[in-house]
């Protein structure tokens, strides 16, 4: 079973947006879309817009899209910002579609990298996508176990780990050495799942 390692693949695209969407770099921080005095957005809405812009400028399109969607939901009356925010949601959607990993191997690499970068949400999403196609993918099950234990959901973590070990005993050996599972070291079920062969023989 491959060990978790940081991935060097998948650098974010630096190409300008396509179509009729405005280039991100042309949106200066602190300068939301122009508006009439009657439609001037509230300072809180402007601050949210600027934070979302900075996120997209870092090519973090997933969080950028989420930030703009939250702005749209939170400030439905701020017409001066909503139209532009929707444009950026579409921009992020296009960028994510272009660079999204397609094969199981690509998604597994991206999920592993996300977990190593403490992006548990992305790791979980990708692992669940893989399991929807391959329910017996041992590494995807292992990654979900790691995500759950980091959340403190020990029962769920042990459930995923049990499935991974049943498919590949190497998953138990990996978990035994993985610091993510430190909080389970004293758990009898975890000990049984991660026991070395000689430990089992002596029982």
pLDDT tens digit sequence for 163-178: 999 999 999 999 999 9
Residue with tokens 């990708």: 126
CATH superfamily of 104-201: Tetratricopeptide repeat domain (1.25.40.10)
- Structure tokens given for 155: 């029962």
Q: Is 152 left (phi over 0), alpha (psi -120 to 50) or beta?
A: left
Domain boundaries, the chain: 24-99, 104-201
pLDDT at position 198: 64
Q: Please check whether residue 53 is in contact with residue 59, taking contact to mean a CB–CB distance below 8 angstroms.
A: no
What values do phi and psi take at 76, rounded to 5?
-65, -20
Choose between 96 and 15: higher pLDDT: 96
The span from the CA of 170 to the CA of 166, in Å, is 10
CA separation for the pair 130, 155 (Å, rounded):
22
Closest CA to 143 of 95, 96, 104, 100: 104
Q: Distance between CA 23 and CA 155 in Å, rounded?
A: 47
| 0.85 exceeded by pTM | no
Q: How far is it, in rounded angstroms, from Cα 188 to Cα 186?
A: 6
Report how far residue 114's alpha carbon sits from residue 192's, in angstroms, rounded to the nearest whole number. 28
Averaging pLDDT over each range in 96-100, 107-111, 180-184, which range is the top one?
Answer: 180-184
The CA distance from 139 to 4, in Å, is 9
Indicate the pLDDT class of residue 183, thresholds 50, 70 and 90.
very high
Joined together, the tokens standing for residue 37 give: 């005095």
Asked if pLDDT for residue 146 goes beyond 70, the answer is: yes
Q: Long-range contacts: 95-101, Cβ < 8 Å, 24+?
A: 95/13, 95/17, 95/59, 95/61, 96/61, 96/62, 96/65, 98/13, 99/10, 99/12, 99/13, 101/10, 101/126
> Which is more confident, 192 or 20?
192
- pLDDT tens digits along 65-90: 999 999 999 999 888 788 899 999 99
pLDDT computed for residue 15 by the predictor: 41
* Cβ atoms < 10 Å from Cβ of 27: 18
Looking at residue 11, the DSSP 8-state letter turns out to be P
**pLDDT surpassing 50 at residue 34:** no
């Amino acid at each position: 079973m491959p060990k978790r390692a940081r991935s060097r693949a998948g650098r974010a695209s630096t190409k300008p947006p396509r179509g009729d969407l405005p280039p991100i770099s042309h949106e200066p921080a602190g300068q939301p879309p122009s508006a009439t005095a009657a439609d001037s957005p509230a300072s809180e809405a402007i601050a949210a817009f600027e934070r979302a812009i900075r996120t997209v400028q870092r090519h973090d399109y997933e969080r950028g899209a989420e930030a703009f969607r939250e702005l749209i939901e939170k400030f439905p009356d701020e017409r001066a910002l909503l139209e532009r925010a929707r444009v950026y949601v579409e921009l992020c959607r296009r960028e994510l579609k272009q660079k999204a990993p397609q094969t199981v191997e690509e998604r597994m690499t991206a999920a592993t990298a996300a977990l190593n970068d403490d992006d548990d949400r992305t790791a979980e999403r990708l692992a669940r996508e893989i399991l929807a196609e391959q329910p017996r993918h041992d590494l995807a099950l292992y990654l979900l176990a790691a995500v759950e234990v980091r959340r403190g959901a020990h029962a769920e973590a042990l459930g995923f780990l049990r499935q991974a070990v049943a498919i590949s005993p190497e998953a138990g050996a990996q978990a035994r050495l993985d610091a993510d599972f430190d909080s389970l070291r004293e758990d009898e079920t975890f000990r049984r799942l991660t026991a070395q062969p000689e430990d089992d023989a002596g029982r």
